[in-house]
Every structure is written in C-alpha cells, then in structure tokens.
Amino acid sequence: MTDIDPVTLAVVQSGLQQVCNEMDLAFVRAAFSPVISETLDRSDGIYHRDDGALIAQGDLGLPVFVGTMQFGTAEVIKRAKDLKPGDVYIVNDPYLGGTHLMDVRFARPFFYKGELFAWLANTGHWPDTGGMVPGGFSAKATEVEQEGLRLPPVKLFKQGVMDEEILSIILSNIRIADQRIGDIKAQAAALVVGERRFTALLDRYGRDTVEACIVELRARAEQQMRARIATIPDGSYHGVAWVDSDGVVDAPLKIDMKIAKSGTDLHFDMSGSSPPCQGPMNSVIATTRSSVYLAIKHIFPEVPINAGTFAPLHIADPDGTFLYAKYPRPVSGCAAEVSQRIAEAVFAALTPALPDRLFAAPAGTSGNFALGGSDPKTGRGYVLYLISGGGYGGYEDGDGLSNGCSTIGISKTTPIEVIEQRYPILIERYSLHEGSGGAGEKRGGFGVNYTVSIRRGDARASFVMDHGRTGPQGAMGGKDGGVNRVMVERRGEPDFIPPHLSKDQGIVVCEGDRIHVSTPGGGGYGNPMLRDPGAVLRDVAAGYYTAAQAAGKFGVVIAGDAVDTAATAKLRRG
C-alpha cells in the first residue's frame, strides 16, 4: 500500500481518462476524413516521458493501437532532441513502432511548469500516403517504398508553428492533398486540448501526487490482469490461424500460437509461423505485440489499459517469421488483417481453457476496399475507401452479432447516403450475407453483401481482405463461418474473381461495372445438432438460412412454418 489516499487515486484515474477522452472527441469531431470522423480509425493517449510507456488511452481509441502507440512513442523519444513546448513530431515509419504507413502519428512533449512531464500522442489513419495504389492498401507491393511516403520522426510543428516546408514535402507526395490540411490541424489541435486539460489536472492535484498515482495505477492494472490470468488453468495451449495469401505468392501463411500459462504469467511463442513473405502481409513487431495485447483485452475487457496491464504478457520475438518484418518488407496488410489472424490464434488457443469467457472466431477482416478514379462530371480525382464488418462468433450465452466491426476496430460504417453524395458510384445493395453464420449450438453472426456500381468514368479497385479461403473458426464443436467473396461484373456478366480470392489491386472498372463483396460470418460455438430447433425455425423464418440449410447444418427438419419434431430427431440421430 502506498501513501496515496484511495480517493485521490480514483479521482486522478478518472481525470487521466478524461484528458484522453477529450482528445478523442476533439479529433473525431474536427476531422475531415470519414475514416477518422466516422470510422474512428485513430487513438489518443498519454505516455511516459522516459520510455513512452502507456499511462492512459481514450475510450474511443482503435484497439489495434493499444500497444503500438507506446512502442511508437518510445521510438520518437529515442530520437527527440531540443524539445520545446509546442513541438509536435510526425512519424509513420512502420519499423519504428508502427503499423502501416497510413497510420500517421503525432507526438507532443507535454511540459508542466517548464519541465517535461509526459508525451501526448495520437495516431490517425490518413486516406492516402502515396504509393502504388490509391488508399495505400497495395496487395502486390514487395517493398515498403512502393507502399507510400515513409516519414521518420520529424518536427512538423516547432513551438506551435507548422513547418511549411515539411508540410509541402508531405502534400506533394500524397493523393487528394487539398483536404489533408484540415485533418492535420484537427490531429494537432486534439493534442492542444489534451495539454490544456492535463495542465488543469496537475494544477488541481499537484505534480508529485499525479506522478505517484500514475505509478500506482500501473501497479494496480498489472495486479488486476494477473488476477484474471490466474483463472486460466496452468498448462500449454495451442492455436493456429491462416492468412489466405500474401497477395503476391498464392499460398496461405500460418500463424502458430503456443501459449504457456504458469502462475500469473502468459508466454506467447509464435516461432512456428511462416517465414517472411514477399507481399505486404508481413507484420512489424509493434503490431504483432499489440495484436496479442488486444486479443487478451477482448478476453478480459474489464481490466483498465495502461502499461501495467500488459506486463504479465511475455511475447518472444518471432525472429525469422512474417510476424517480425524488417526493412524493406512490405507491411500494408499487417494492421488491418494479420493482426486479426494473430488475435484469432490467441482466441483459438485459449477457448478450451476458458470456454465460458471466449467465443468462436469473429469475421476478423477489415475488408479494405479502395477505389480510385476521376469523376468526369467534376474533373476531380477521388479515393473511396471502405472497410466492412462481418459476423461475430457464437458464445456460451448467445449467438454471434451480425455485421460487427473488425476485431481491431470500433469503427462505424460510412452511411450509403454520404458515400453516394461524394463519389460517382452507387451502392446497389447492402444486405445480410445469408447462410454465412457458422453453425453451432450458438450460431455465428452474419456478414454483409454489398454491390458497388460505377456511375461515371473509369476507376481502379484494390482490396486487402481475408478469410476468402477458409471461414472464421468454429469453437467447441461449432462450424466455421462463411467465407469472404469478391466478384467483378462487367457488362452485366460475372467476369472476374481474383486469383487470391481476398486480395488484389489495380482492377480497372468502367461505367456500369459492378463489384460484389460478401464478408465472412462468425464461427459457430458448440455442436450444431444441439441447437434449439425453435431457434433454427426462427432463423429460417427470417431468411437467415434456407430450410435445406436448416436440415444440412443443424439437423432440423422444417415443414411449412413448424419444426417436424419426429423427422428432426431422426435426422439428428443420423
């Protein structure tokens, strides 16, 4: 027990959280890119002045950034010099504690009464950072230089003043540069909001007290995580997940997750995973670690987040695998896709250990889809960037949610009415992906189908998705969810299915062409033959499954609008 009184500790904890939440809110509400303002693909936090360790993170932060932000801030700190109040570093180098190039980080040293107290940092997904395809999700890149502009930590703001020369370099290397200035100002302003609120907190409670609380909160979070880990029986657990392909070589990539639990520690060994790949599905180490963190946080959501939360998680560097990418390996798929397969492997490994806490695999793909072209009506270029959701896995107490956002995201879809206002396309269909929920006693949730048709001009489509080859894994006897599908229709006829199923780039489409996408359903949980026939009947009435699927997947015979009990019993006896 320390000498901080429990009230002050609780109050400072909520105060730190509020500083971060206000940064989140300011950034989201002032941002221009829908990927930030609607999709919430960003995060804000407070980091330790010496090592970048996470002190607090906003509640609206994208989960995948939970770990990467502290690694990224640590890299800035190592390189920072001659710090002044009002300085803001910009960096997007994946190998320096990052994700992919589109995630651009701002870090601002926070001075209190003239002394460096902490770092305030945020990250935002920019709609474009240059590179070979609009939107940055190249499926075919073989080196990072093809993926876009890479920025080492440089001071974009010096004592509060933007460096117009650095800005001009950036704007000269990215698409649709004219709208970026609003996002840059919003991202920087969020840190100013944080500075104001943090200063008020320190004024109120005093520097030493807040400092002591930060140390104590870190110890408490660690203690809480250890108490959760203790509920896992000691032993070794093993899970595997597969990435469809790297986009260049058409072969699956394996994530081999061995987890050893002893006492209150978890040890993660991914050394049995596939070697580095040619295409952009390599993961940088910060993202690999963060993926394990967020998976554990999904399992134990009640534990607060700071650096202490992750102290009991020991992740061996997966040297020699595609999960520890070194320069110049291409990495655009790591944050959005590989991260989710890593989490899926963690879930698969730990489900037998904690069957009542876990769940079958969620869709686990961000469904990145970028369409870049020019609208002949306005003469202006555009980049449409969509991500999509899918079904979640069933769990002991319920069926999986339909159209949940990715494991690593908390994003909302951009409304169809907004998309159609801004781009020369139509969304012709946005519907539930029937039949995609994995069968189980508790079935998976359903993915979505959408169809994009080109109204005017030519465009190039690129996508980086996953689970096209195998569906999200079922658990405890449940079946896998339905797979992801992409199909291009030209002149009214089905014309093209990408050879790698879920990844391709530079597909030329013209006026009248359509792109059809179906996203994965969640895995089923438990033996589908034990599913309540009444629940199957309701699913058929809603059109989630056909009567034939009810019989085939669940052994339930439906006659008219009722369950044929006798025939069902017979079928289930098999």
Residues in 399-418 at the binding interface with other proteins, rule: CB under 8 A: 399, 401-405, 407, 410-418
How many residues interact with other proteins (rule CB under 8 A)?
85
Q: Which two tokens stand for residue 455?
A: 């109204």
Answer whether 310's CB lies under 8 Å from 85's CB: no
Answer whether 367's CB lies under 8 Å from 388's CB: yes
**Least CB distance from residue 514 to other proteins, whole Å?**
12
Binding mask 224-263 for other proteins (x = CB under 8 A): x--x------------------------------------
- Which span (129-137, 148-156, 318-326, 419-427) binds other proteins, by CB under 8 A? 419-427
Query: Is residue 34 involved in binding other proteins (CB under 8 A)?
Result: yes
- Which span (20-28, 100-108, 460-468, 566-574) binds other proteins, by CB under 8 A? 20-28
**Least CB distance from residue 141 to other proteins, whole Å?**
27
Q: Which amino acid is at 520?
A: P
- Classified as helix, coil or strand, 163 is coil
Residues 483-542 that bind other proteins (CB under 8 A): 541-542
- Classified as helix, coil or strand, 289 is helix
Q: Bridge-partner residues for 429, per DSSP?
A: 451
Q: Bridge-partner residues for 253, per DSSP?
A: 243
Pick from 77, 133, 193, 475 the residue near other proteins by CB under 8 A: 193
**Least CB distance from residue 399 to other proteins, whole Å?**
8
**Least CB distance from residue 485 to other proteins, whole Å?**
17
Which residue, 185 or 469, is less far from other proteins as judged by CB?
Answer: 185
Residues 367-396 that bind other proteins (CB under 8 A): 388-389, 392-393, 395
DSSP string, 292-326: HHHHHHHHSTTSPPSGGGGTTEEE---TTSTTS--
Answer whether 94's CB lies under 8 Å from 100's CB: yes
Residues 428-457 that bind other proteins (CB under 8 A): 428-432, 448, 451
**Least CB distance from residue 537 to other proteins, whole Å?**
12
Q: Which amino acid is at 100?
A: H
**Least CB distance from residue 410 to other proteins, whole Å?**
5
Rounded Cα distance between 510 and 154, Å, is 41
Q: Bridge-partner residues for 105, per DSSP?
A: 91, 123
Distance set, CA 374 to CA 317, 381, 422 (Å): 44, 4, 12
Rounded Cα distance between 329 and 2, Å, is 47
**Least CB distance from residue 341 to other proteins, whole Å?**
15
What is the residue whose two structure tokens read 């990844």?
503
Q: Are strands 493-496 and 54-57 parallel, antiparallel or unpaired?
A: unpaired
Pick from 420, 458, 495, 532 the residue near other proteins by CB under 8 A: 420
Strands of 503-509's sheet, edge to edge?
Answer: 380-386, 368-375, 459-464, 503-509
**Least CB distance from residue 389 to other proteins, whole Å?**
4
Which residue, 179 or 236, is less far from other proteins as judged by CB?
Answer: 179
Q: Which amino acid is at 187?
A: Q
Rounded Cα distance between 445 and 433, Å, is 10
Which residue, 279 or 526, is less far from other proteins as judged by CB?
Answer: 526
Which residue, 248 or 476, is less far from other proteins as judged by CB?
Answer: 476
- Which span (57-65, 153-161, 165-173, 487-495) binds other proteins, by CB under 8 A? 57-65
- Which span (18-26, 93-101, 319-327, 529-537) binds other proteins, by CB under 8 A? 18-26
Q: Cβ-count burial of 44 within 10 angstroms (0-12 exposed, 13-18 middle, 19+ buried)?
A: buried
Helix/strand number for the chain, H first, E second: 12, 22
Pick from 4, 32, 199, 278 the residue near other proteins by CB under 8 A: 32
Query: Is residue 18 involved in binding other proteins (CB under 8 A)?
Result: yes
**Least CB distance from residue 23 to other proteins, whole Å?**
10
Which residue, 418 or 508, is less far from other proteins as judged by CB?
Answer: 418
Query: Is residue 29 involved in binding other proteins (CB under 8 A)?
Result: yes
Query: Is residue 182 involved in binding other proteins (CB under 8 A)?
Result: yes
Rounded Cα distance between 564 and 179, Å, is 60
Which residue, 176 or 571, is less far from other proteins as judged by CB?
Answer: 176
Q: Residue 521 has what DSSP assignment?
A: P
Rounded Cα distance between 502 and 195, Å, is 43
Which residue, 71 or 525, is less far from other proteins as judged by CB?
Answer: 525
Q: Which two tokens stand for residue 535?
A: 């629940």
Binding mask 71-110 for other proteins (x = CB under 8 A): ----------------------------------------
Query: Is residue 223 involved in binding other proteins (CB under 8 A)?
Result: yes
Which residue, 23 or 338, is less far from other proteins as judged by CB?
Answer: 23
**Least CB distance from residue 429 to other proteins, whole Å?**
4
Q: Bridge-partner residues for 452, per DSSP?
A: 427, 515
Residues 293-322 that bind other proteins (CB under 8 A): 294, 297-298, 301, 304
Query: Is residue 159 involved in binding other proteins (CB under 8 A)?
Result: no
Pick from 197, 329, 443, 467 the residue near other proteins by CB under 8 A: 197
Q: In 3D, which of 145, 126, 266, 251 has the Cα closest to residue 503?
A: 251
Residue-wise burial string across 89-128, b where 16 or more C-beta atoms lie within 10 A, e elsewhere: bbbbbbbbbbbbbbbbbbbbbbbbeeeebbbbbbbbbbbb
